[in-house]
Amino acid sequence: MSLVVRNTLIALAITAALAGTVAYAVNYLNNARVAELSAVEDQLSIDILSLDTQFSLLEAAPCDSSASSTTLISELANMGDRLSYAESQLGSDNAQVIRLKEQYSLLEIRDYLITKELAAACGGAKPTTVLYFYSNTGDCADCDKAGYALSYLRTTYPTLRVYSFDYNLDLGALKTFITITKVKRDLPAFVINDKLYYGFTSLTELEKQFPKGALASTTTK
């Protein structure tokens, strides 16, 4: 066997080995990613059922459940973070992501309504709430920045109730909610303690939209 032929065969073998290694690595990573996302989806489904059950318990004994109501804030927030991760990995047009987002939106609306009912029926302090309407179809240049700002506020003031809604979601209850709150398609849009604001420039300007002392009163001791 000539030197040229031998070197050619060796080069082909090395190339085949490298291709096989790359293919194996890609397949392994894809399988790991699918498994991770499946776990996220399964956990989201469990969380949705758990939150729905907790809402039913709150409705059955509203004035005896203030602690449980407070706990729901962090649970909804954590669930929203996992949903955002699934959306970033699978895409906003993924059927499973859309279904989970619809369920999550319904839970947010339900929590918002129950929170208002608890404050009215039980004589407690009115919580500070933010309804945030966004779009992720490329027609809202400031939505990402607004989302980050609200995430910061939610972390800084743990009892602040932030509800995020995809304005484009084809969900009857959400469309009715948008009509009732009179939110126009001028995104990002915020309803802060029942007052409507449009646009986002900075965190400082957003904080100015809150009633005086509202954020300070939501800080945990």
Distance from C-alpha of 153 to C-alpha of 34, rounded to nearest angstrom: 32
Residues 156 and 181 in one domain: yes
Q: What are the phi and psi torsion angles at 39 (to 5°)?
A: -65, -40
Number of domains in the chain: 2
Of 99, 125, 151, which residue constitutes the final position of a domain? 125
Confidence band, pLDDT 50/70/90 cuts, at residue 152: very high
DSSP assignment of 97-144 equals HHHHHHHHHHHHHHHHHHHHHHHHHH-PPPPPEEEEEE--SS--TTHH
The percentage of the chain sitting over the pLDDT mark of 90, rounded to a whole number, equals: 30
- Tokens read off for 74: 């962090």
3-class DSSP state for residue 160?
Answer: coil
Is 57 in contact with 68 (CB distance < 8 Å)?
yes
134 in Cβ contact with 143 (< 8 Å): yes
136's tokens? 């992720």
Rounded Cα distance between 76 and 181, Å, is 21
- Sorted by sequence, the CB contacts under 8 Å of residue 169 that are 6+ apart come out as 98, 101, 102, 105
Q: In terms of domains, do 134 and 163 share one?
A: yes
Q: Which residues pair with 189 in a beta bridge?
A: 133, 198
Q: Last residue of a domain, which of 94, 125, 156?
A: 125
**132, 120: one domain:** no
Please check whether residues 106 and 1 belong to one and the same domain. yes
Final residue of a domain: which of 125, 155, 177? 125
Helices (H) and strands (E) in the chain, counts: 6, 4
Same domain, 203 and 217: yes
Q: Is the pLDDT of residue 134 over 90?
A: yes
Domain region containing 160:
128-221
**For residue range 31-64, what is the model confidence (pLDDT) as tens digits?**
555 555 566 666 666 766 676 776 676 666 666 6
> Residue 29: its pLDDT value, please?
47
DSSP letter assigned to residue 62: G
Q: Which two tokens stand for residue 190?
A: 């915020």
pTM equals 0.71
**Partners of 129 in the β-ladder:** 161
Report the alpha-carbon distance of residue 99 to residue 76 in Å, rounded: 16
Q: Helix 95-122 crosses helix 172-181 at what angle (to 10 degrees)?
A: 50
What does the pLDDT look like over 156-173, one tens digit per residue? 887 788 999 999 999 999
